[in-house]
Structure 1
Amino acid sequence: MEQIFPPDKSPWHWVPMPLKPESAGFLATNSVFQAIVFAVVGLRFYSRLSTKTVGWDDWWVLIATFLSICTFITSICANILGSGYLVQEVIINLSSFYLLIFILQPLFLFAIMSTKLSVCFFYLRVFVNNSMRIATFVTMGLVVAWAVAHYLAAVFICTPVAGQYDLRLAAVTKCGDQMKFFQSGLSINVVLDAIVIALPLWTIWRLKMRKSDKVGLFIAFSIGIAMLVVSIIRAEYVTTTSLKGDLTATLPINLFLTVFEQQLAIITISIPMLRPLWRRYRARVGGYSLSEEGGKGSGYSGPRGGSKSNDIVTFGGSGAKASAGSKGRRGKNDSVLDAAVELRDVEHKANVAGRSDGESWVADDSGSETRLGEWNRSPGAINVQTEWAVSRK
């Protein structure tokens, strides 16, 4: 004990150790992905703020980002204290190690909870099917219950609670099986990830659209599989860590995966939200307008010699025309990716041309800079733009 607690008798010591090559590599990788997180989340909010469509899914991502930063900082501290060294080499910092691990648990739990809730709130924004919405609410309840229950169990698994990080209480501290506890919590996390990813797939499969479009939607909504894979790998690696044995020597990979899982989750759920920015960038670089793109994609041409109507529907849309009474609400078979929330920064141009009594006339409101979002404020609605060409003989 004298070696653990020097003459000052304090269990808390900060004795920096040179970084192990393995730890340095993991920290460098986490640093790169943390920068990507900042960029992706920043672009996500720029896209949503510019279209005035910030929702609960965005705020939960912001919370997850803040918690991921805290987790990363805690990981850096653990690496400075000697992550990767044998316990005997850093025993003076051991209480500090246990304290950092105690702090990491709620940071990880509530960061992952926030990412899952963000995805669920996004589902609520884009799906109108009652069964899908009920399933989403149930999933949200399971996610919150898992995070809260696991956190409370992590706090009170030892008696006294301080015995988890204060080695002065080691002689009187009694704990449950912490290894099985962590394994069970991570296993439930994997199951919840799978549920969140699978939630929209059946609804997407029932949409009336081309199979190629369905495949595109499947890919977009299944991008979280990468996060699921990391969750499985992390659950496996936790079994190699001995909480009361050679903790510090096996810690680097676990610290890395703890941070990386959060970072990857934030990135994967935010990338699909950048589609409006990509559309605008492609339109500017390609030099074509939305109406030209929509005309190609609609695949509809009016009868010869009569009127022509190009109904611009979003990617994955059903192709059905909006009814006057729908007031912009999304139907069950409409698009779930390119909703009005993604199109409110696009200028709406209504062009009408005709011929009467040998004279031609053109009505064009393109100079009015009317925007789609101005006439349709219904959140998550599908906007349709129609161009008419009228001729009279």
Structure 2
Amino acid sequence: MAWYLLCAMEIDPAILAAFGPPPDGIDLLAKQETAIIAVALVSTAFATVALGLRIWARNFQRFGMMADDWLMIVALIFTYGTLIITILGAKAGAGRHLWALHPQDVSNIFRLLYAYTYIYAGSVSFTKLSILLFYRRLFERGSAWFHVRLGFAAFFTIGYLLSIWSVAAALCQPTEFFWTQFLGVTGGKCLDINASFLSLTVLNLVADLLVLVVPIPEILALKMTTKKKISVCAVMLLGGLVCVVSAVRIWAFYRFTVEIDITWVEANVFLLSSLEPSFGIVSACLPSLRPLYRRARARITGKETHSTTTGTWYTNSKADRIGNSYVRFGDDTSRSGEQDDIALTSIGKGPSANKTIPQNIILVRSEITQSTNQVQTRGPLRHDSLDSY
């Protein structure tokens, strides 16, 4: 009790006047700074490595950088912003009990939280848009219903981004009242901050779910074996991890709206707002890393034993392997210059050994490769394909 009274004597009078005394038995020396910074650094490092490997895979397969890759780089830049603000927030006092801080500390934390709103929205939104561009390229010849789903998800994602930026801009008048209100400054007013933040976190989860389900009907309609469909769906549904983090973030924001000890629970808000975009980037990059995995496995084992190897390549040569099974992506006809790597709308045997493969067509070859100490190299890969999973 004497320790508690000693701590109570050191509490800033302005904090006591605004929030009342601390709960019994609270440790005012507790802090979460180290844990917050460590987790944020590790998750962002994973996102950086994942995107770096994705770009490496692009160069390794000679695809070249595409629009979804560039957009993911933009998302990573915003994610670095969330990392910086998370670190600054932890050092400013987020993750410490409110009664261990001064009004200026609380004001500084809320200033960072305000900036966080803009940067976090950019990181998650550009990640989603990159994923949608990937879907569009992967299912370019998909059904009309697919393109409707894709367009709606993109519209909702862009709408979320503009909405959160607009709400943040209009949240308080003047804007700085959002953080100066803790300094006893008068002459400002704010909208319902708690309801605004909570509703926007829910909208973000809805956007995550929309992006997650966009490709599923198209994948299920592909002429693949059930095993391969499950494999492809599993890769696409890695984004479900982001939905889990987004749902936990809603819980963190709910606690933020009901708890008095706002700076203590704010630690979870900062941390999850850094984790979610990092998870999003990692899950979005994993489907592109399969070729690197195969290459690493081949180098480690030194051979491929009775394994089915399937690859997608661009070719202008004659087929010289009899009995191979070829799978065309797209329709039965192709026009010069098209990106014909999507949809699996037709599957057929051929071409024969003496038939020239048409120009600007991407084919998939499945063959049983006998044990060999050398890995066969193929022509330059041009685009992603579902069959590469």
Shorter-chain TM-score tier: 0.7 to 0.9
Shift of 1:89: 2.5
Say which is worse superposed, 202-211 or 24-33, in terms of deviation: 24-33
Matches within 5 A, 1:250-289: 250-288=265-303
Amino acid of the structure 2 residue aligned with 1:235: I
Q: TM-score, structure 1 length as denominator?
A: 0.72
- Contact 2:33/2:90 (8 A) holds in 1: yes
Amino acid of the structure 2 residue aligned with 1:308: I
Shift of 1:312: 5.2
1:53 to 45, 64, 70: 64
> Structure 1's 232 and 84: CA in aligned 2 closer, same or farther, altered over 3 A?
same
Shift of 1:149: 1.2
Work out the number of aligned pairs and report it: 321
Q: Is 1:201 aligned with 2:216?
A: yes
Query: Equivalents in 1 of 2:54, 2:169: separation in Å?
Result: 35
- Contact 1:311/1:321 (8 A) holds in 2: no
Amino acid of the structure 2 residue aligned with 1:96: N
Deviation string 1:186-243 (CA, Å, 9 cap, x unpaired) is: 1111111111110111111111111111111110110110100110111011111149
Query: Equivalents in 2 of 1:173, 1:272: separation in Å?
Result: 49
Q: TM-score, structure 2 length as denominator?
A: 0.73
User: Which residue is 2:106 aligned to?
Assistant: 94
User: Which residue is 2:20 aligned to?
Assistant: none
> Structure 1's 152 and 325: CA in aligned 2 closer, same or farther, altered over 3 A?
closer
Query: Equivalents in 2 of 1:171, 1:102: separation in Å?
Result: 19
Query: Equivalents in 2 of 1:380, 1:115: separation in Å?
Result: 18
Query: Equivalents in 1 of 2:386, 2:254: separation in Å?
Result: 48
| Stretches of structure 2 lacking an aligned partner (at least 5 in a row) | 1-11, 15-27, 312-320, 347-364, 366-376
Amino acid of the structure 2 residue aligned with 1:233: V
User: Which residue is 1:124 aligned to?
Assistant: 136
The percentage of aligned residue pairs carrying the same residue is: 22
Matches within 5 A, 1:296-311: 308-311=322-325
> Structure 1's 35 and 20: CA in aligned 2 closer, same or farther, altered over 3 A?
farther
Q: Is 1:332 aligned with 2:343?
A: yes
SS for the counterpart of 1:329 is coil
- Contact 1:294/1:311 (8 A) holds in 2: no
SS for the counterpart of 1:99 is helix
Amino acid of the structure 2 residue aligned with 1:330: D
User: Which residue is 2:155 aligned to?
Assistant: 141
- Contact 2:242/2:280 (8 A) holds in 1: yes
Shift of 1:380: 5.2
- Contact 2:132/2:150 (8 A) holds in 1: yes
- Contact 1:111/1:262 (8 A) holds in 2: yes
User: Which residue is 2:167 aligned to?
Assistant: 153
Query: Equivalents in 1 of 2:94, 2:153: separation in Å?
Result: 36
- Contact 2:32/2:96 (8 A) holds in 1: no
1:179 to 170, 190, 194: 194
Shift of 1:372: 3.7
User: Which residue is 1:30 aligned to?
Assistant: 40
1:74 to 85, 97, 105: 85
User: Which residue is 1:115 aligned to?
Assistant: 127
- Contact 2:201/2:250 (8 A) holds in 1: yes
> Structure 1's 295 and 69: CA in aligned 2 closer, same or farther, altered over 3 A?
closer
Amino acid of the structure 2 residue aligned with 1:150: I
> Structure 1's 19 and 218: CA in aligned 2 closer, same or farther, altered over 3 A?
farther
- Contact 2:138/2:386 (8 A) holds in 1: no
Shift of 1:253: 1.5
| Stretches of structure 1 lacking an aligned partner (at least 5 in a row) | 5-17, 297-306, 336-347, 349-368, 385-393
- Contact 1:45/1:58 (8 A) holds in 2: yes
> Structure 1's 325 and 76: CA in aligned 2 closer, same or farther, altered over 3 A?
closer
Query: Equivalents in 2 of 1:79, 1:72: separation in Å?
Result: 11
SS for the counterpart of 1:83 is coil
- Contact 2:174/2:189 (8 A) holds in 1: yes
1:40 to 38, 45, 50: 50
> Structure 1's 290 and 116: CA in aligned 2 closer, same or farther, altered over 3 A?
farther
Shift of 1:260: 0.8
Deviation string 1:308-347 (CA, Å, 9 cap, x unpaired) is: 321355xxx88x9976878772363269xxxxxxxxxxxx
SS for the counterpart of 1:224 is helix
Deviation string 1:19-71 (CA, Å, 9 cap, x unpaired) is: 94533223212222222112111111111133233111111211111111111
> Structure 1's 158 and 286: CA in aligned 2 closer, same or farther, altered over 3 A?
same
Query: Equivalents in 1 of 2:386, 2:234: separation in Å?
Result: 21
Shift of 1:87: 2.7
- Contact 2:95/2:264 (8 A) holds in 1: yes
- Contact 1:237/1:254 (8 A) holds in 2: yes
User: Which residue is 1:227 aligned to?
Assistant: 242
SS for the counterpart of 2:94 is coil
User: Which residue is 1:339 aligned to?
Assistant: none
